[in-house]
């Protein structure tokens, strides 16, 4: 006798997972808290029938559980967008019981707002790039503390450009700051050296991991694209062919203008607030390089500048157009060629 199809919704926590199992008619067959263990989760769900679909809200740790359910249990698992799922609730209350029930229901009727389940190598690259970004932020914070200390002591180095070797040497040797400030400055510069080595180590490790990655190697062939930009693209985008259109990719990167129209009023409201802000900043930086290196983007920037557009808007527009152009260049058939 064939087993009945069931749909599973999982509300993930570090120590436990709330598992809701629904039948094809929407009836709740089970809704209970399990240990964060694949064997117990599978046992609860498969006692009710054959899993035809499962959903888990995207959060820290959820992707690893989802991949484990796909590979070991053979379940078709979808990651759900937590923001959109939250907006679809018709109840102001929040409980694990209701969250798991909602996920199972959305999976059953086909309305689940899905996000991409990245493969293991892409998730590992994301972890490396996230760690590098943490180190870069810490380095920026240390530099700001140094500038703040000099400003507090009303000291102005006699060099126009900061962080050059002469500037650093003068700051470390100047007698214009107090004794305690000199000691603090020395500690800050020692920390900067440690962070510099740590960032280089992360970059070497990332370079080794992506040495045979076809997407990264294809990106590096384009003028103005360095390793950091290629790694960020690969970590956040993963596969270019998971987007249907170039516009969809651009919106995912947060580079498309946001529409703010109403009635007869037609207007834009800056860039759409979507995607990772670090990815968007990386692409805008790449656009500044493209405007100096590529005739096509140089001409676009020149035309926009002649119309009185600010530099920040020009860089965003170039990044938007370049990402859309790149979408067509990075299709699997062209990468393989």
Residue bearing tokens 């670090």: 278
In order, the DSSP letters of 305-329 are HHTT--HHHHHHHHHHHHHHHHHHH
| Most distant pair of Cα atoms in the chain: their distance | 88
Average pLDDT over residues 87-105: 85
Query: What digits encode the pLDDT tens for the residues 131-182?
Result: 999 999 999 999 999 999 999 999 888 887 889 999 999 999 888 889 999 9
Lookup: tokens for 331: 């299709």
In this structure, the answer to whether residues 332 and 220 fall within a common structural domain is yes
Using alpha carbons only, how large is the chain's radius of gyration in Å?
A: 26
pTM attached to this predicted model? 0.85
d(CA 167, CA 174): 10
- Angstrom CA distances, 61 to 58, 205, 227, stand at 8, 23, 28
In this structure, the answer to whether residues 77 and 140 fall within a common structural domain is no
In this structure, the answer to whether residues 200 and 219 fall within a common structural domain is no
In this structure, the answer to whether residues 170 and 107 fall within a common structural domain is no
Boundary (domain end) residue, out of 185, 209, 233:
209
Query: What digits encode the pLDDT tens for the residues 213-259?
Result: 999 999 999 988 999 999 999 999 998 988 999 999 998 998 887 77
Give the domain extent around 94. 5-115
Query: What digits encode the pLDDT tens for the residues 301-318?
Result: 999 999 998 998 899 999
In this structure, the answer to whether residues 225 and 330 fall within a common structural domain is yes
């Amino acid at each position: 006798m064939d087993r009945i199809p069931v749909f599973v919704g999982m509300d993930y926590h570090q120590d436990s997972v709330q598992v809701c199992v629904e039948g094809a008619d929407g009836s709740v067959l089970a809704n209970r808290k399990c240990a964060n263990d694949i064997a117990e989760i599978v046992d609860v769900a498969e006692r009710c029938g054959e899993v035809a679909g499962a959903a888990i809200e995207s959060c820290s740790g959820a992707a690893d559980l989802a991949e484990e359910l796909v590979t070991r249990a053979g379940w078709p698992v979808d990651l759900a967008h937590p923001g959109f799922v939250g907006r679809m609730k018709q109840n102001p209350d929040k409980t694990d019981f209701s969250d798991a029930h909602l996920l199972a229901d959305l999976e059953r009727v086909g309305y689940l707002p899905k996000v991409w389940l990245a493969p293991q190598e892409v998730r590992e690259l994301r972890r490396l790039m996230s760690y590098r970004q943490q180190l870069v932020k810490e380095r920026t914070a240390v530099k700001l503390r140094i500038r703040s200390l000099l400003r507090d002591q009303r000291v102005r180095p006699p060099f126009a450009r900061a962080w050059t070797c002469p500037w650093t040497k003068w700051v470390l040797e100047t007698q214009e700051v107090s004794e305690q400030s000199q000691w603090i400055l020395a500690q800050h510069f020692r920390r900067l050296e440690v962070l510099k080595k740590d960032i280089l180590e992360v970059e070497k490790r990332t370079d080794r991991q992506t040495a045979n990655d076809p997407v990264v190697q294809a990106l590096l062939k384009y003028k103005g694209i360095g390793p950091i930009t290629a790694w960020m693209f690969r970590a956040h985008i993963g596969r270019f062919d998971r987007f249907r259109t170039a516009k969809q990719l651009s919106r995912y990167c947060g580079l498309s203008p946001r529409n703010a129209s109403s009635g007869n009023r037609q207007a834009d409201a800056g860039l759409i607030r979507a995607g990772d802000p670090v990815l968007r900043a990386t692409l805008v930086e790449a656009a500044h390089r493209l405007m100096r290196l590529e005739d096509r983007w140089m001409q676009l920037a020149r035309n926009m500048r002649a119309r009185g557009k600010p530099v920040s808007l020009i860089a965003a527009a170039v990044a938007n157009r370049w990402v859309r152009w790149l979408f067509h260049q990075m299709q699997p058939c062209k990468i393989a060629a």
